[in-house]
Amino acid sequence: MIDIILFTAALAALAYTLLPYVWRGRTYAKVNLGAEDLFIAKERIYANIKDLDLDHEMGKVGDADYQAMRGHLKQEAAATIERIDRLHGGVGRAALEREIAQHRTASATACRKCGASLAAGSRFCPECGQAAS
C-alpha cells in the first residue's frame, strides 16, 4: 500500500516538474488586468530589462541570448503600455503634449520689465529680479 502511495507521489512530482516543457508554445487565456495591475506589470518588465542588462554586462548572459530576451521583454513592455493607453481612453502622446502646453501657457505670465516667462506663483522674475506683482 505504501509503495502505491509513494509511486503516485513520485509520478505527480515528475508530472509537475515536466509540465512547463510539455505546455511550451501553447497560448494562454488573456487576463483582464486593471490599471494598477498593468502599471505593476510594466514596472516588473522594466526591472527585468535592467536585470538582464546587468547580467549581460557581467558576462552571465551571452550576446545572442541577451538580444533574444531583451527583444521579447521590449515587445512585452510595448504591449503592456498599449493596454494601459487603451484602458485610459487611448490618450496618445500628441494629446498629452497639447494638454501640457495648454497648462504651461495658462499658468505662465510674462515679466513687465524684460518679458521673460514667469511660472505660476513666482514672486520675482528669474531673469532680471523684477517683482512679479
How far CA 6 is from CA of 9, 13, 15, in Å, comes to 5, 10, 14
Residue that wins the pLDDT comparison between 35 and 56: 56
Asked if pLDDT for residue 36 goes beyond 60, the answer is: yes
Determine the average pLDDT of the residues in 44-70: 93
Q: What is the pLDDT of residues 102-123, one digit of tens each?
A: 766 655 577 888 877 777 777 8
- How confident is the model at residue 105, as a pLDDT? 63
Domain boundaries, the chain: 2-90
What is the overall mean pLDDT for the chain? 81
